[in-house]
Structure 1
Amino acid sequence: MSPTRLYRTVATAEAITWAVLLIGMFLKYVTDTTELGVRVGGMVHGAVFIAYCLTTVLVAIDQRWSAGKVVAGLASAVPPFVTIPFERYAERRGMLGSSWRLAQAAPAGVLEKLAAWLIRKPAQGVATGVAAVAVLFAVALVAGPPVG
């Protein structure tokens, strides 16, 4: 799977889970019918949000994004539905390649070496990504909601 296709897929999934969460919030807070949409939608959105952030970092390392573009990509996951316009922006600006640079190029530095390993060994890369999402999700569950 190319960086463009992976990023588009995860950005779209993040926007869809935002919609599910917002529908759940409407049902809970406006119609007062159920909170199931917030419980389930919130958990699914949380996991996909983490996956989007990890994907953004992986693609950014491989495609050599500037720090500002990485921050913009990560920040696009905070407001609802902004990951899709950011993905389109990134594609128009040539930030998403049709192939993985580190699949062939020699990695420079620790982050590129890790990214190269994930890219060159796709099965282990996917397993590592799923494990990373699970660990970060568990940490978020233990930390609990923000206190305001």
Structure 2
Amino acid sequence: MTPRTLYRRIALAEVVTWALLLLGMVLKYVTKTTDLGVRVFGLAHGVVFIAFCLVTVLLWVNQRWTVREGVLGLLSAVPPFLTVWWERRLERRGRLDGDWRLGRLDGDWRLGRDGEAPANPAERVVATLLARPMMAVGVGIVAVLALTGVALLVGPPVGKQG
């Protein structure tokens, strides 16, 4: 899976969970029929939101985005439906082109086809993860679950809702 494909899929998942959460909010606050949609879709959206942010940081490092691109990528997950627009903008500008930069090869660190070394600690972490894809998936899953657990302990973004 290329960086472009991963980002496209996670951006679309974020949009879908936003739509489902908004539907749940309509059912709870407008029709006053049930709050089940907010509870179920809110959790789903929270998990996908966290995953989107982690993938954004991963691509920020891998694709060597600017600080502006990385921050805007993270912020695009906050308003409903903006992630797909952001992903398409990055694609049009060629910021999702290429493949994953490689990790350790033959004892040397290489991030790309030209054999460049990681320039900073973030690139070293990404290079290590990309050298071990199954470990990277496991680390990603554990990170999403851990951050979701923290979010559940902290509670809703605007205090306790009834």
Q: Is this a same-fold pair by TM over 0.5?
A: yes
Of 134, 139, 145, 2:150 maps to 139
The aligned residue for residue 75 of structure 1 is: 75
Q: Spell out the pairing of 1:110-125 with structure 2 (5 A cutoff).
A: 110-125=121-136
Counting aligned pairs with the same residue, the percent is 55
TM score, norm. by length of structure 2: 0.87
Q: What is the aligned length?
A: 148
**How far apart are residue 101 of structure 1 and its match?**
2.6
Alpha-carbon distance in 2 for matches of 1:138, 1:78: 19
RMSD: 1.2
Alpha-carbon distance in 2 for matches of 1:11, 1:118: 22
1:2 equivalent to 2:2? Answer yes
Read off the aligned partner of 1:117 and give its amino acid letter: T
Task: Compare the two structures and name the one with the higher helix fraction.
Answer: 1
Alpha-carbon distance in 2 for matches of 1:117, 1:33: 49
On the 8 A contact 1:102/1:112 being kept in 2, the answer is: no
Deviations 1:15-41 (A, max 9, x none): 000001000000111111111100000
> Relative contact order: is structure 1 or structure 2 higher (C-alpha 8 Å, sep ≥ 6)?
1
CA distance 1:92–1:147, shift in 2 (3 Å) = closer
Structure 1: state its 5+ residue gaps: none
The aligned residue for residue 37 of structure 1 is: 37
The aligned residue for residue 56 of structure 1 is: 56
Alpha-carbon distance in 2 for matches of 1:30, 1:89: 34
Q: Looking at CA atoms only, which structure, 1 or 2, has the larger radius of gyration? A: 2
**How far apart are residue 118 of structure 1 and its match?**
1.8
On the 8 A contact 2:101/2:130 being kept in 1, the answer is: no
TM score, norm. by length of structure 1: 0.95
